Structure 1
Amino acid sequence: MTRDRSVLVVGLGRFGVAVATTLDSLGQDVLAVDKDADLVNRWSSQIPTVQADMTDVLALEQLGVKDFSTAVVAIGDSIEASVITAGNLLDVGITDIWAKSVSVEHARILQRIGARHIINAETDAGKRVGHLVSGDYLDYIEIEGPHSVVKIHTPSHAVGMSIGDARIHERFGVTVVAIKSSGRELAYGSKDLVMKRNDELIIMGTQDQINHFLHG
């Protein structure tokens, strides 16, 4: 059966389970695969699962994985298994490969064989936690290039001013994407929107620009 916009998730560790259950909750057609029967049985009541070894080309053929549009290689306990699996999936024609890496060397190999998206789960999570632990940000998302999207409380120097009057973009280079006030719905960052003391601002900019805006 051909599956449009379907996702194959290989590996039922914490990372793979998080990806698969999130996709399933979003209504995506997802199938999770692991060679460990205990893991497959553990999650089979929550997400579609099957036991198979994806380093085995015959197993890929039996599952018909070529019909999937996207694959996530979430294997973290064996670099060899991760690389072989990614290579096998590419060989059967899945070009949209997302692969978890556990080291710089692992990521380099995955890139060389053609995996389109490399996720260093530990490093990416560590960066986010580091930013949150620093205390300046309520949330942090790193996007491609030098920019980040962060959620902060209104800096003291901007309290009571509208986005336009504060000339935030002109002075600091950041863009106020939206503002969340207590008890109100999220409002997009129009120039006449006033920033109150306990408002949560969602802003985008480079690290230097964000820091400049935070500290005035």
Structure 2
Amino acid sequence: MPHGRRNLDKRALVIGLGRFGSSLSLELVERGWEVLGVDTQPRLVQSYAEQLTHTVIADATDEEALRQAGAHQFHRAVVAIGDRLEESILATSLLVDIGVQDIWAKAMNRRHGRILEQIGAHHVVLPEHDMGERVAHLLSGRMLDYVEFEEGFSLGTTKAPRELIGKPLGQTKVRQKYGVTVVSVKRRGKTFTYATQETQLHTGDVIVVAGRTDDVERFAESAP
């Protein structure tokens, strides 16, 4: 399928309707996607039957069952059964074999994640690990929010440091001093807007900065 058509294909196959899979499925439906939810447990499938576009009771480690469910017709699929190692690996492998082009898989740990990547998963998600790491950054520093995009590079939300107040960002030399870029600003009572070289920060502003994780944390420590 051409790239442009794939972007218009708002359908997803989600295998596993536990906490992670069900939350993901419901959020996709809320965003206007069609979701086929697959699980081996009739109780789970029945509980989401009216909330998801389609639900099927099927064993995702059985290729014929996946094909009967229509898995081969999906461009995107999520294997959300990361807590059952063998089933997770088998289901991911079968999705690769039947030609699903964009496979996301939940992993219990990095070793599990490496195995999933080796057998063909295009994206590996470690929700428990990622959330634990995020909370640790928030708990131990001054950031209001934190997102790591890849190892060593992050976005952090923090209050504007006093040394930046009242000056155009282009004159603060924040990138040279801290190695971060201010990408967005939120005034009290307003929404976030893009930051420019001419943007002047006010006391109480909340800003989003991007850079290497160590630099983002060091910058956040200068916040009031």
User: Is the TM-score greater than 0.5?
Assistant: yes
Residue 193 of structure 1 aligns to a residue whose secondary structure is: coil
Of 45, 55, 59, the match for 2:50: 45
Residue 121 (structure 2) aligns with: 115
| Distance in structure 2 (CA, Å) of the matches to 1:40 and 1:15 | 14
Contact 1:131 1:137 (C-alpha < 8 Å) held by counterparts: yes
Residue 143 of structure 1 aligns to a residue whose secondary structure is: strand
Residue 64 (structure 1) aligns with: 70
| Distance in structure 2 (CA, Å) of the matches to 1:83 and 1:214 | 40
Residue 150 of structure 2 aligns to a residue whose secondary structure is: coil
Does residue 148 (structure 1) correspond to residue 157 (structure 2)? The answer is: no
Q: Which amino acid aligns with 2:103?
A: I
Residue 32 of structure 1 deviates from its aligned partner by 1.1
Output aligned runs, 1:149-164, within 5 Å: 149-164=155-170
Residue 17 of structure 1 deviates from its aligned partner by 1.1
Q: Which amino acid aligns with 1:30?
A: V
Residue 82 (structure 1) aligns with: 88
What's the C-alpha RMSD, in Å, of the aligned pairs?
1.7
Question: Unaligned 5+ residue runs, structure 1?
Answer: none
Contact 2:38 2:57 (C-alpha < 8 Å) held by counterparts: yes
Contact 1:5 1:69 (C-alpha < 8 Å) held by counterparts: no
Distance of aligned partners of 1:121 and 1:211 in 2 relative to their CA distance in 1, 3 Å threshold: closer
The number of residues matched between the two structures is 214
Does residue 27 (structure 1) correspond to residue 32 (structure 2)? The answer is: yes
Q: Over residues 118-137 of structure 1, what are the superposed CA-to-partner deviations in whole Å (9 max), with x where a residue is unaligned? A: 11111111111111222411
Residue 106 of structure 1 deviates from its aligned partner by 1.6
Question: Runs of at least 4 residues of structure 1 off by over 4 A?
Answer: none
Output aligned runs, 1:130-209, within 5 Å: 130-209=136-215
Of 77, 99, 106, the match for 1:93: 99
Of all paired residues, the percent bearing the same amino acid is 40
Question: Unaligned 5+ residue runs, structure 2?
Answer: 1-5
Of 15, 22, 31, the match for 1:17: 22
Q: Which amino acid aligns with 1:113?
A: I
Residue 153 of structure 1 deviates from its aligned partner by 0.7
| Distance in structure 1 (CA, Å) of the matches to 2:191 and 2:68 | 49
Residue 204 of structure 1 aligns to a residue whose secondary structure is: strand
Query: After the TM superposition, which of the residue ranges 118-127 and 42-51 deviates more from structure 2?
Result: 42-51
